[in-house]
Structure 1
Amino acid sequence: MKLTRAIAPVALVGALLLAGCSGGGSAKADADGTDCLASGKASSSVKVSGSVGDDLKLTSDTPVSTKKIERSVIKEGKGDVVEAGQSVLTSMTLFSGADGSVLQQLPANAITVDKGGLADWAYEGLRCATAGEQVALAAPYADVFGDQDPKETGLDNITADDSLVIVMEFGEISDAADAAAATGEPGTLEDSELLKKAEGKSVKAPAGFPTVKLADNGEPTITIPKGVDAPTKLSIATLIEGDGETVKPGDRVYVNYRGVIWSTGEEFDSSWSRGAPANFMTTGVIGGFQKALEGQKVGSQVISVVPAEDGGYGAAGLKQQGHKEDDVMVFVLDILGTVHADSAAE
């Protein structure tokens, strides 16, 4: 299970987990006024002891079973609910709902509340957070792992019929820019500072590359060429040449992207489908993304064809994500904005 989506830093893929009863004083809605994820019988039954992310134990009765994600507050927090784009210091523990065994403990880590960059279950756990709050999520296996084979999750003692219990505890909430500066990371941009889509001079891709057709809003449709074998080496081409700032190593980059599998043409991930661009640092993602972005200008559109062992996740990583070990991924990326790495020191 992963907290972030397919373009997440390689170190997070298959490692970061978890997500998120409600008593007086707890948030009933997020900062945008949308109701928090509802509590239910399964999540409200959760009782724990110990420290979240360290030695937490499930002390309530098992099995815990649910057909939909539920979120309950175990311990109330104080202060304002987190806003989109802010960072929350978050500790997490994942339990098997079947027998209460600990599947993973994750110590405190600053996580940005970003609908486009988080898995759905994680976003639902975080978007109503308040400092000091402790919450429990109860979720069916499929809502966290999708159709991934339990044997490929890297976790023991789990089946696709189980429910999961995820306990989160929230610490300091800060503006993402402040959190980034504290860790030496580049700052962030507001939506109003981003391009809506790639814009610039169109460039014809080399022979053998997939073709890309754009909708009026810039969303790409990717068509794999018939009768052409997938490249065995990382292959990158510029489709639109922008004229904005140049992306440098370590920058935070904002992109809209779509990813398909070469052998089937099927989409496996897309920020377009989620309705919001993703952002990440170029040095924290797979090589197929990093090399496609660094040196490019804001406004550009780039296509990156990524074999597993040359810029990709590797055979084991693809298998863990539910793909074939030799699948080749095709990404089309619109570069909408960038924040230079040296801005963190300013």
Structure 2
Amino acid sequence: MRLLWPAVLVLATSCGVAENGTLPVVTGPFGVPPDITIPAGKPGRTPRVSTLVHGSGRRTVPGDVVLADVEVRRWSGNQPHLSTYETNQPVAVVFDGRAVPRTWQEALIGRAAGSRVLLVGPAVQVLGPDMRLGGVPPGETLVVVFDVIGGYPPDARLVGRPLPTMPTDLTPAAPARTLIGGSGAEVRAGAKIVVQYVAASWPTREVVDSSYKRGGPSAYRLAPDAVPPGWVDGLRGQRVGGRVAIGSPTSSRGEPMLYVIDILDAI
């Protein structure tokens, strides 16, 4: 989505009041759907960005793939518009010169992993890439809350390791196999994982999907309804920095699949 006019941002504190209007009150811990209270005052017309929680991880930089959970509400009536907490798949925003709204650049670049950021402004200026108005008037105020999982280079990979290749003896019925043991945090069911992966169809073994070719790492919640069959059992108990081969008898494509997954992070 392209902006129809340049966005002028005013940094606001998280106290709830700014020069050009009031700000919502956002409560709740990082990583869970935020509780948002819309104040009685008017929102103002200028997009505003406020850091609500300062994270302690690596700061995002231009060129990163920034992964974040996003909650979008309409100011009017506090109606939900979009939530990645419901879909269990955070957004991936590639800051490589592509068309990303300036408001999202202000909200996401330079933020430490673990930060919660508030963005308020007209819909046409604050909706992110590939997000549609969906019946919302362009000038209607939206409230956007980001939980910044982190920023990662598009070619992020296991340090000192070659790109993953599919084992020649992997089959859909084979148990998950650790190809490289990790030494980082243990992956728990329900955690958010950041991965690079290669997927191949069966029995042709043709690579049909690759995060490396699509632009970089992706984040998922490790839950049965959020990742391909076999991932939860295959990745649970692994450690960050590991590489795992997983066969899946079924998939959303309607055919068996093979995966090689590099675990870059787990939260």
TM-score bin (small chain): 0.5 to 0.7
SS at match of 2:48: coil
1:23/1:275 CA distance change after superposition, 3 Å? closer
Out of 257, 261, 266, which is 1:333 matched to?
Answer: 261
Structure 1 residue 124: Cα displacement: 5.5
Whose strand proportion is higher, 1 or 2? 2
Out of 158, 164, 171, which is 1:220 matched to?
Answer: 164
1:26/1:267 CA distance change after superposition, 3 Å? farther
| Partner of residue 40, structure 2 | none
**Mapping 1:141-152, distance limit 5 Å:** none
1:262/1:89 CA distance change after superposition, 3 Å? same
1:79/1:333 CA distance change after superposition, 3 Å? same
TM-score by length of 2: 0.53
Q: Matched residues in 2 for 1:196 and 1:125: separation?
A: 21
SS at match of 2:234: helix
Q: In the alignment, residue 131 of structure 1 is paired with which amino acid?
A: V
Equivalent residue pairs, number: 181
Out of 303, 307, 326, which is 2:249 matched to?
Answer: 307
| Partner of residue 298, structure 1 | 240
Q: In the alignment, residue 202 of structure 2 is paired with which amino acid?
A: W
Out of 80, 93, 102, which is 1:115 matched to?
Answer: 93
1:114/1:263 CA distance change after superposition, 3 Å? same
Structure 1 residue 175: Cα displacement: 3.9
1:126/1:251 CA distance change after superposition, 3 Å? farther
Structure 1 residue 307: Cα displacement: 1.2
Whose helix proportion is higher, 1 or 2? 1
| Partner of residue 197, structure 1 | 157
SS at match of 2:203: coil
CA contact (8 A) 1:88 1:171 kept: no
Q: In the alignment, residue 174 of structure 1 is paired with which amino acid?
A: V
SS at match of 1:22: coil
SS at match of 1:244: coil
Q: In the alignment, residue 259 of structure 2 is paired with which amino acid?
A: F
Q: CA RMSD in A?
A: 4.1
| Partner of residue 251, structure 1 | 191
Give the fraction of aligned pairs with identical amino acids, expressed as a percent. 23
Q: Deviations over 1:60-105 (max 9, x none)?
A: xxxxxxxxxxxxxxxx76124998445543479xxxxxxxxxxxxx
Unaligned runs of 5+ in 2: 10-44, 52-59, 61-65, 85-89, 105-118
Q: In the alignment, residue 78 of structure 1 is paired with which amino acid?
A: P
1:219/1:91 CA distance change after superposition, 3 Å? farther
CA contact (8 A) 2:194 2:264 kept: yes
CA contact (8 A) 2:67 2:219 kept: no
Q: Matched residues in 2 for 1:20 and 1:241: separation?
A: 43
| Partner of residue 220, structure 2 | 280
Out of 128, 133, 142, which is 1:167 matched to?
Answer: 133
| Partner of residue 7, structure 1 | none
Q: Matched residues in 1 for 2:162 and 2:101: separation?
A: 30
Structure 1 residue 275: Cα displacement: 4.1
Q: Matched residues in 1 for 2:183 and 2:241: separation?
A: 6
Unaligned runs of 5+ in 1: 1-18, 28-75, 93-105, 117-122, 137-143, 145-164, 178-187, 200-215, 319-324, 340-346
Please list every run of at least 4 consecutive aligned residues from structure 1 whose deviation after the TM superposition is greater than 6 angstroms: none
Q: In the alignment, residue 121 of structure 2 is paired with which amino acid?
A: G
1:262 paired with 2:240, answer: no
TM-score by length of 1: 0.42
